[in-house]
Homo-oligomer: A and B are copies of this chain.
Amino acid sequence: MFEELDPLLHSQLRLAVMSLLISVREAEFTYIKEKTQATAGNLSVQISKLKEAGYIEVEKGFKDNFPQTLCRISPKGIEAFEKYVKALQQYLNLPKP
């Protein structure tokens, strides 16, 4: 009846990050931070978790002398996101109009 909701995705901030990356494919840490309004610390932790799960790939480099963290969604991440959305929809049996 109620399928499990992937706990890695069922978190406001991580879901926002994945949602962003689903549409733009890759983005800088600072861009994600701005769009999600998260604190750097919180974002850093959540990005690490998504990376550890293999849902995103993270590339660290430099841009204009400053460190730059690039995040890219992985095929596994896309799959997980799609599965999560499907599961979630079972819960959202929208109220009849």
Contact = CB atoms under 8 A, between A and B. Distances in A.
Interface of A: 1-2, 4-5, 10, 12, 15-16, 19, 22-23, 35-37, 78, 81-82, 85, 88, 90-95
26 contacts: A1-B35, A2-B16, A2-B19, A2-B35, A2-B36, A2-B37, A4-B12, A5-B12, A10-B10, A10-B12, A15-B91, A16-B91, A19-B90, A19-B91, A19-B92, A19-B93, A22-B93, A22-B95, A23-B93, A78-B95, A81-B95, A82-B95, A85-B92, A85-B94, A88-B88, A88-B92
A37 B3 CA distance: 10
Interface SS majority for chain A? helix
